[in-house]
Amino acid sequence: MTFIKNHKKIVSTILVLVVALAVVLGFTLKKGEAVAKFNGESITKDELYSEMVKQYGSATVDKMIADKIVTAEAAKKKIAVSDNEVNKQINALKESYGGEDVFNQMIASNGTTLTQVKEDLKNYLTIKKLLEPQIKITDEEMKTYFEENKDSFAEPEQVKASHILVADEQTANEIKQKLTDGADFADLAKQYSTDEGTKNDGGELGYFGKGDMVAEFENVAFSLDVNQISDPVKTDYGYHIIKVEDKKAAKEAYFEDSKATIKDTLLDQKLDSEYTTWLENKKKGYKIENNLAKA
């Protein structure tokens, strides 16, 4: 998503800020009323708007004009982006951020909304459809990228495990005995585990590689066989009982397995440069005026 990040990173933030302030101030302040005071001197809403327009107005208008050009060109070529395509990208972003909760936190921390993200993604996918036919990516380029980034395509050894975390060794030993006697691991995790993030899922941690967990936990997890349950393991968090659900052996990187990912990455990189040139050329075919640029 290199292209979309670069395309929107400044102006999108400005738009959110301007719109948010306009809405809030529009409801709470009357015309000419102060938004702040310094040594008794008022700073009015109108002065604030003027300052924001002076600093960010021209760039914001340029971005709006660019979006209109993209929409017009897409209409000429009968290019459309469906909701399913946008939602597929949203799901990919959620996965890349480690889940929906982290994704939502990222949106909130950047002062934007899911609706705005979807609009940006729809614009990005439209641009991609417009420009992709004129972008060429050769096998030689892909092979060069693969060799330069080979380590990132290899898959390290991974373990899928669940755990039950408790505060003291006695409780851990009691739970271990219950498991030995045939109790269900997931049920005991829900009942006893102090890890609020995993207990309701039966203690499931998913897959993790070496370096993802604290050393004491990791050393035991990677030493267990599938379906084997550990004795209590002490870490700074308390006492863990670990059950290994599955294992994935390390997998060497192969070019053929990575081609699709590499092509998408190189396409995003080329969109960065091609879009600027394409946009300037398309502007010549429209009557455009940005009066703020003249100010």
Q: What domains can you pick out in the chain, each with its CATH number?
A: 2-139+256-294 (1.10.4030), 156-248 (3.10.50.40)
**What pLDDT is stored for residue 105 in this prediction?**
85
Q: Which of 67-76, 143-152, 213-222, 284-293 has the lowest mean pLDDT?
A: 284-293
| The pLDDT of residue 20 | 43
pLDDT surpasses 80 at 10: no
Asked if the model's pLDDT at residue 13 lies above 50, the reply is no
| Predicted confidence (pLDDT) per residue in 241-291, tens digit | 999 999 999 999 999 999 999 999 999 889 888 999 999 999 999 998 877
Measured distance CA(95)–CA(192) in Å, rounded = 29
Output the pLDDT for position 14: 41
pLDDT at residue 100, as a whole number: 82
- Write down the pLDDT at residue 25: 44
CA torsion angle 107 110 116 117 (round to 10): -50
Strands, sheet with 238-248, edge to edge from the N-terminal-most edge strand = 204-209, 158-166, 238-248, 233-235
Confidence check: pLDDT of 73 > 90: yes
Mean pLDDT, range 46-54, rounded to an integer = 77
Global pTM? 0.59
* Section 184-200 average pLDDT: 94
Residue 17 has pLDDT above 50, yes or no: no
Residue 246 near residue 157, CB atoms below 8 Å:
no
Q: What is the pLDDT of residue 217?
A: 96
The confidence score (pLDDT) of residue 166 equals: 96
Displacement of CA 277 from its chain's centroid (Å): 28
Whether residue 33 has pLDDT greater than 80? no
Residue predicted with more confidence, 157 or 295: 157
In angstroms, rounded to a whole number, what is the distance separating the alpha carbons of residues 13 and 62?
A: 14
Tell me what percent of the residues of the chain surpass a pLDDT of 90.
55
Residue 224 confidence (pLDDT): 96
Lowest mean pLDDT among 15-24, 86-95, 139-148, 172-181: 15-24
pLDDT classification of 113: cutoffs 50, 70, 90: confident
pLDDT for res 273: 84
Percent of residues, the chain, with pLDDT higher than 70: 87
pLDDT number for residue 101: 81
Backbone CA torsion sign across 102, 105, 106, 112: positive
